[in-house]
Amino acid sequence: MDATSLKNSAITLRNAIIPILLALQAVLMPAPAKAEDYLQCVPFARELSGIRIYGDAHSWWDQAAGVYQRGAMPVEGAVLSLPSHGAMELGHVAVVRKIIDNRTILISHANWSPINGRRGQIERRVAARDVSAANDWSLVRIWYAPIGELGTTAFPVNGFIYPVPPSKKASRQWASSKPQRDNRSPNRSLFDRNLTAELAQVADQERPAGGESRDLIGELLDRVGS
């Protein structure tokens, strides 16, 4: 076999092996998660609370109308709903874990404080304080890890979404841009099934392994909005 034939054979063999090597690399050495693949507040709040609402956090309050009870007072297991505010264009949702007093609660949420320079982290049982003049939970300050205390910004609050259906079957309705606040508190015993434990798949880690979502349909809806 002459030199030209040997060279052509080597090229053919190389071209055949490269795809196999690339496939093995993809399996054995997956690419690191991209910066935008951090855990968002929405899927974490949905799985922890059991409230099956999808889409950006700012849309949760209106979506809950007629589907879940809503109110102005915190209850353990309820979702604290924040509208878009300033640079927080997508709003925010967090789950109430404990009532400390009439001004202070502990919440668990994701993608609020950057921790060790990384976004998308889970914070468990951190403080949120009502700073409204009327003590009606319409304005809150939330624990911010980089400064080790409550943040300096007071955020407006839509209210709290409770993980139980309305007491009466409601017909389909469109929520107004400024929905009426409902001060009725639901029966706390109805939350027991949702408060037995932290989610097993997120309790021991700060983010899903490999940045993969456990709810692919929900993750897609979260990305495209409601």
Of 153, 151, 149, 156, the C-alpha closest to 132 is 156
Whole-angstrom distance, CA of residue 216 vs CA of residue 68 = 23
Q: Are 51 and 161 in contact (CB under 8 A)?
A: yes
* Pair 194, 68: CB distance under 8 Å: no
Number of C-beta neighbours around residue 90 at 10 A: 19
User: How large is the C-alpha radius of gyration of the chain?
Assistant: 23
Residues in the chain, how many?
Answer: 226
Is the Cβ–Cβ distance between 173 and 180 less than 8 Å? no
User: Using an 8 Å Cβ cutoff, are 81 and 161 in contact?
Assistant: yes
Three-class secondary structure of residue 107 per DSSP: strand
pLDDT confidence of residue 169: 46
CA distance 198 to 189: 18
Q: Rounded to whole angstroms, how far apart are CA atoms 179 and 82?
A: 13
- How many whole angstroms separate alpha carbon 119 and alpha carbon 103? 28
Structure token pair of residue 151: 């943040």
What pLDDT does residue 182 have? 52
Task: Please state whether beta strands 92-99 and 104-110 pair in parallel, antiparallel, or not at all (unpaired).
Answer: antiparallel
Q: What is the pLDDT of residue 26?
A: 59
Walk along the chain (226 residues) and give the pLDDT tens digit of each residue: 676 676 667 677 667 776 776 666 655 555 444 444 568 899 999 999 999 999 999 999 999 999 999 999 999 999 999 999 998 999 999 999 999 999 999 999 999 998 887 888 899 999 999 999 999 999 999 999 999 999 999 999 999 999 986 654 433 333 333 444 555 555 444 444 444 444 444 444 433 344 444 454 455 555 444 3
Q: Residue 29: its pLDDT value, please?
A: 55
> C-alpha dihedral over 94, 50, 182, 73, to 10 degrees?
-50
